[in-house]
Amino acid sequence: MKPGVWTQYFRSASPEQMVELFASRQWFHLELSSEHGEELLGRGDPEKTGKEFAAYALERGVHFPQGHLWLTVDICAENQAEVIDDLKRWLDLYLATGVKAGVLHPGGNQMRRQQQSPAAVLDTQTQALGQLCTHLQGTDFTLCLENVPGTPEVEQLLSIIKAVDSPRLGICLDTGHLNMAGGDQGHFLRQAGDRLKAMHLADNEGKTDQHMMPFGRGNVDWSAVIGGLKALRYEGLLNLEIPGESKAPLPVLLAKLDYLQVLMRYLVEDA
């Protein structure tokens, strides 16, 4: 397990500045945030931009094994064809950047608001994900469906994966989202099994998505999380999704990164 941080921690920084800041505190494995991904996409050709940015990061020892795709996308939206075309550009960028696990929300909220049936939502999710998986054929990239409000439990994600039936699909556990839903972290991990390819580590008090670091005032069961990951022999990014910690001056943000090095060593080695 490689400790990492979601790059939105330095949201106001450019992608290059973000790389420099993390490298200055010895953080070399990161999840590329959708905000930085969107900025990179705005520069032009996704493949060219991704390769140039990856080269810049690698010169400083920084890698992006995980990336969050378009954060607010609904793959079941009425303009699905346009959405899929846009997501293919995101995939091309992330492939060129070296991302192996791309986190994606499973969508369907618009259809649920329209009171469409669960079967109709699943069918639309399957259509969209099938197209994206086809685009990824011949690569080692995994689309990781994240448990989110509306689709909080592992069984729901597994049903989507079964319907699509592609090796290019996996799961991302967001510990904060599961905590808000009252779910069992250990059960989620056991059921996800080898489909688990990405992680969002975040704490909260169970009511709102506060995105706090572990061992604060939140109540996520970290023993269950780390015990479950060790039992699975999880080898992906142990990624801190903690934008709730980023409302601070730059010297404080950098000092928090130093503390987080200690915290993550404890989680990986001692917890």
DSSP letter (8 states) at residue 151: B
109-144 exposure pattern, b = at least 16 Cβ within 10 A, e = fewer? bebbeeeeeeeebbebbbebbbbbbebbeeeebbbb
Q: What is the pLDDT of residue 269?
A: 83
pLDDT digits 0-9 by tens, 49-90: 999 999 999 999 999 999 999 999 999 999 999 999 999 999
The domains found in the chain, sorted by start residue, are 2-270 (3.20.20.150)
- The share of the chain scoring above pLDDT 90, in percent, equals 95
* Residue among 172, 252, 219 nearest 6 (CA): 172
pLDDT digits 0-9 by tens, 168-225: 999 999 999 999 999 999 999 999 999 999 999 999 999 999 999 999 999 999 999 9
Q: Which residue has the tokens 């959405």?
A: 83
pLDDT at 141 over 80: yes
Q: Name the pTM for this structure.
A: 0.95
